[in-house]
């Protein structure tokens, strides 16, 4: 069955689903009034990043509207080429992402991923999409504790929505690290040094790869994974995430 036929069947099944069970908004719990589980009012109220830096995704001060990149990226660019994160990690995002990440409300992740997919289509309108997607991997022990990898769930939905290949096991977390919460930038870098490995370098060599994550805070994790991919001869690394924490 071709990808186009699969998409048609998926859209038909979604139409049947919402005809029998109308969409209920994951934010306000009211009927959404459309084939989504997020109503238009709540979607419009989600905090956006008004003028994101083309490299790191942070908001550029309005006093410099002519710049595509922030001063930090101009002076010291990160290892990834671009970061796309449409939403600012501000209320109600923390509550929604906590429900998705820690309480297995996968429907919340799907709705936020659709917003991310729309942002990616807009940002790549005049540029080719990456060759493949990889989720930020969890250490096997952390994966057993949590039961699923939220980044994998996002990447799987993006692969379907954007018709891109997904390689969920291409990058592995070879060293268990401490939680990044409460660590400063230097401690985060030390904590993640050497944490990732690439299982098949031949699939990475010469490719543009998109790393998929849920929330980007200091970008330490995706920077370390980006460096690992570039050392394995990836051409470029992009980062896609649901939200970006303002600094």
Per-residue pLDDT 10s for the chain (247 aa) are 555 565 565 555 555 555 556 789 999 999 998 889 999 999 999 999 989 999 999 998 776 655 788 888 989 999 999 999 999 999 999 999 999 999 989 999 999 999 999 999 999 999 999 999 999 998 888 888 888 999 999 999 999 999 999 999 999 987 666 565 655 566 666 666 667 899 999 999 999 999 999 999 989 999 999 999 999 999 999 999 999 998 7
Task: Check whether residue 40 and residue 129 sit in a common domain.
Answer: no
Task: Check whether residue 208 and residue 184 sit in a common domain.
Answer: yes
Task: Check whether residue 20 and residue 121 sit in a common domain.
Answer: no
> What pTM, to 2 d.p., does this model score?
0.87
Task: Check whether residue 59 and residue 164 sit in a common domain.
Answer: yes
Task: Check whether residue 106 and residue 206 sit in a common domain.
Answer: yes
Task: Check whether residue 138 and residue 178 sit in a common domain.
Answer: yes
Task: Check whether residue 39 and residue 133 sit in a common domain.
Answer: no
Number of domains observed in the structure of the chain: 2
- Find the domain containing 41 and state its range: 1-45
Task: Check whether residue 25 and residue 61 sit in a common domain.
Answer: no
Of the candidates 83, 157, 68, the residue with the CA atom closest to the CA atom of residue 124: 83
Q: What angle (nearest 5°) sits at the alpha carbon of residue 169, between those of residues 166 and 172? A: 130
Both tokens assigned to 171: 């990058």
Task: Check whether residue 11 and residue 88 sit in a common domain.
Answer: no
Cα distance between residue 191 and residue 132, in whole Å? 27
pLDDT at 6: 59
Task: Check whether residue 98 and residue 19 sit in a common domain.
Answer: no
Task: Check whether residue 75 and residue 179 sit in a common domain.
Answer: yes
């Amino acid at each position: 069955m071709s990808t186009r036929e699969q998409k048609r069947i998926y859209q038909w099944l979604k139409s049947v689903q919402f005809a029998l069970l109308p969409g209920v908004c994951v934010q306000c719990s009211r009927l959404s009034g459309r084939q989504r589980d997020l109503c238009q009012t709540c979607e419009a109220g989600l905090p956006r990043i008004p003028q994101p830096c083309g490299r790191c995704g942070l908001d550029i001060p309005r006093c410099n509207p002519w710049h595509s990149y922030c001063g930090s990226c101009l002076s010291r660019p990160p290892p990834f080429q671009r970061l796309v994160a449409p939403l600012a990690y501000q209320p109600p995002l923390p509550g929604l992402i906590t429900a998705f990440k820690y309480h297995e409300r996968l429907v919340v992740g799907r709705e936020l991923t659709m917003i991310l997919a729309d942002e990616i289509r807009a940002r790549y309108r005049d540029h080719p999409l990456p060759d493949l997607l990889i989720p930020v991997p969890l250490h096997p022990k952390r994966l057993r504790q949590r039961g699923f990898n939220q980044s994998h769930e996002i990447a799987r939905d993006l692969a379907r929505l954007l018709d891109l290949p997904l390689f969920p096991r291409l990058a592995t977390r070879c060293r268990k690290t401490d939680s990044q919460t409460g660590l400063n930038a230097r401690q985060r870098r030390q904590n993640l040094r050497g944490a990732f490995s690439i299982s098949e370098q031949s699939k990475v060599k010469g490719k543009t790869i998109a790393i998929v994550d849920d929330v980007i805070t200091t970008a330490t994790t995706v920077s370390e994974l980006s460096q690992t991919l570039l050392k394995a001869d990836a051409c470029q690394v992009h980062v896609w995430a649901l939200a970006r924490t303002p600094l």
